[in-house]
Amino acid sequence: MITNADKDRDYKTAKYIFNFLTSKGKSCLLIRDRFIEDDIGKYAEIEDIPKDTQCIIVLGGDGTMIQVANDLHKMEIPILGVNLGTLGFLTEVEKQDIESSLEELFENHYKVENRIMLKGSIVKHGYEGTALNDFVISKSGGCRLIELEVYVDDEFIETYVADGIIISTPTGSTGYNLSAGGPVLAPAVQAMIITPICPHSLNKRSLVVDSSSKILIRIGKIKEITDDEAVAISDGNEIVYLKTGESIEVTRSENDAKIIKLSGFSFFKRMRQKLNRDM
């Protein structure tokens, strides 16, 4: 069990679940997330997770689920989310349903969805990482637009003059991609979405490509005397600053995230419940 200490003060919910699991004869270990030294992000201490773990219960919100999926992507252990946040689109279980949901898990009334993840590579900066939701290339510094050249499988597709661009998975399609006007894809769709952010044109729309594609985004140059400046962001975390001539390559990761879905909680039902309400 991995819990977000900011949302589960004194580990009250974690202790409650721990006691319930042990009362049912289950073996459970609590892995606390840690702040890294500069307080920019968190990580789970995956070295403490036994190799024979059958399930990871994540307590937090969507951000915690995304963090854990990235931390554990090579282990491919099924993840069950308990919502301690606000929206909870990725999390499967609400606090009031913890016991009944775990009983469903014990009775094998669930399925495991394989959610594709992205791998981003920036060779010049020596960066390689994963994202469950999206990679974003956004303007940096001043408020002016940046130029972004898009290639798919080495074929030039389009040049966008925009605030940035989003490369999203189906899981991430209900996040920043949706806010930027991109389409929602069902989780099982094997595809990636390329969505410009506030493009300086009326006819620039999202593009959906096969998940086997290789997407390359190169930073162009709007003004002759200065370089365009951008920042590459992985699942909401800034990773590398880019300038004219530099690029990021995004492909499907070799590993999928495995998300536990309980009976009666379809993607479309969750979308109606979560995305049609006022926050």
pLDDT tens-digit series, residues 208-221: 999 999 999 999 99
The pLDDT tens digits of the residues spanning 129-165 come to 999 999 999 999 776 899 999 999 999 999 999 999 9
Q: Which of 8, 33, 62, 228 is catalytic?
A: 62
Work out the pLDDT band at 203, boundaries 50, 70, 90. confident
Whole-angstrom Cα distance, residue 256 to residue 97? 27
Q: What is the average pLDDT score of the chain? A: 88
Which pLDDT does position 36 carry in this prediction? Answer: 42
pLDDT tens sequence across 16-50: 999 999 999 999 988 866 544 444 444 566 777 88
> Alpha helix locations (H) across the chain?
12-23, 62-71, 98-106, 176-179, 267-275
Homologous superfamily of 2-116+256-275: Probable inorganic polyphosphate/atp-NAD kinase; domain 1 (3.40.50.10330)
Long-range contacts of 35-43 (CB under 8 A, 24+ apart): 40/237, 41/67, 41/237, 42/4, 42/67, 43/67, 43/71
CA-atom Rg of the chain in angstroms: 20
Residue 135 is predicted with a pLDDT of 98
Residue 202: per-residue pLDDT: 74
Intervals of CATH 2.60.200.30 along the chain: 118-252
**Which DSSP symbol is given to 188?**
T
Instruction: Please tell me which residue, 265 or 136, carries the higher pLDDT value.
Output: 136
Helix (H) or strand (E) holding 53, with range, is none
**Inter-axis angle of helices 98-106 and 12-23, to 10 degrees?**
40
Where does CATH 3.40.50.10330 sit in the chain?
2-116+256-275
- Based on the residue annotation, tell me whether 278 is a catalytic residue of this protein: no
CB 98 within 8 A of CB 107: no
User: Domain spanning 118-252: which CATH class is it, in words?
Assistant: mainly beta
Angle in degrees, CA 188, 268, 55, rounded to 5: 60
Task: Check whether 274 has a pLDDT greater than 70.
Answer: no
